[in-house]
Homo-oligomer: A and B are copies of this chain.
Amino acid sequence: MIFVNGIRYVLGESRPISSVPELGGDEAAIKFLADRGFKNYRHSTVEAWELGVEAARQAMQAAEVNVADIDQVIYASVSSRSPAHGDLSIGLFAHRMEMLTTPITGVCFGECTNAMLGIEHAAMLLETGRARTVLLVSTDVACSKEQRVTTGQTICSDGAAACVITREPRGSAVPSFELLGFAKAFHHLSRAGMSNPAKSFRDICGAAMKCKKTVLSKIDKPLAKWIPNTANSEVAGALASVLGIPASMFYLDNLPEYAHVFSTDQLINLVDWATRSKAPSGSVVAGLATGTSGSSVAAWRVV
């Protein structure tokens, strides 16, 4: 059994979407996004690794673990500027965390599914006995216009979430979640730059549907909620419709205030849903992450 414990997150400063520098005051674009649920977004004045440090410290406290307990860190991020020759930000993170010799695996090629792919990697480390206590840090800060305003349909926010992944539940400050099932599916044409918006949407839906089927076949209890990445309400509605999920089952409560926090959304929305809804122990919920090149679904049981 795999448990995610002590999910904590930190976000950049709250600012109105009309102030997104990359929108350049384009009234039509701002209205388009406001009509689809965006109101404020989060803008970090510090680097992704610094947000990651803060989230990691809070998560370790919530899960009641120390630096010495952590066998392995998984650092999921879209914000690397230089993976090529020793990623600086992971080094700075390790230094500030006093984890200079702790193994750190980077996950950076899954776009908005990075955190989910990190969970799969953590599960494998635990299942094979390579680690007992894994710290997952998901931290994302937009590094370009393309990242801040994805395809014109989404405003992306800066934030980090962290959690501690173990084989037993840990801590009582926030709910723990048991991983009941996981699936991933890919569609590489978009990231090859060879697709178009309609084809990309179909590919995302196809991959998400495949994951949904795989994971739901292992679950014998009705889902309390679907936890997607926070998205444009129109796009989220279309995705829910294609997947045969009532729109009311999608947790989009963070859309007006947080916008879309890349792959970090998954952890933020999961813990917010459980905390705000006071989800009873035993509730089952499914996370659904969709990225440029693939989708992932995880089924979670509230401990």
Contacts and interface: CB of A to CB of B under 8 A. Distances in A.
Interface of A: 75, 78-80, 83-88, 90-92, 94-95, 99-106, 108-111, 117, 121, 123-125, 127-128, 130, 143-144, 146-147, 150, 184-194, 207, 291-294
Contacts of A185: 101, 103
A83 B86 contact: no
Contact of A188 (B78, B80, B104): B104
Contacts of A95: 188-189, 192, 194
B88 A193 contact: yes
Contacts of A85: 78, 111, 144, 146-147, 150, 292
A292 B105 CA distance: 14
A83 to B, nearest CB: 4
Contacts of A91: 188-194, 293
A195 to B, nearest CB: 9
User: How many copies of this protein are present in the complex?
Assistant: 2
17 contacts: A75-B109, A80-B84, A83-B83, A85-B144, A88-B193, A91-B190, A91-B193, A94-B186, A95-B194, A101-B185, A101-B187, A101-B188, A102-B186, A102-B188, A103-B184, A104-B188, A127-B128
B88 A191 contact: yes
Contact of A106 (B75, B94, B109, B128): B109
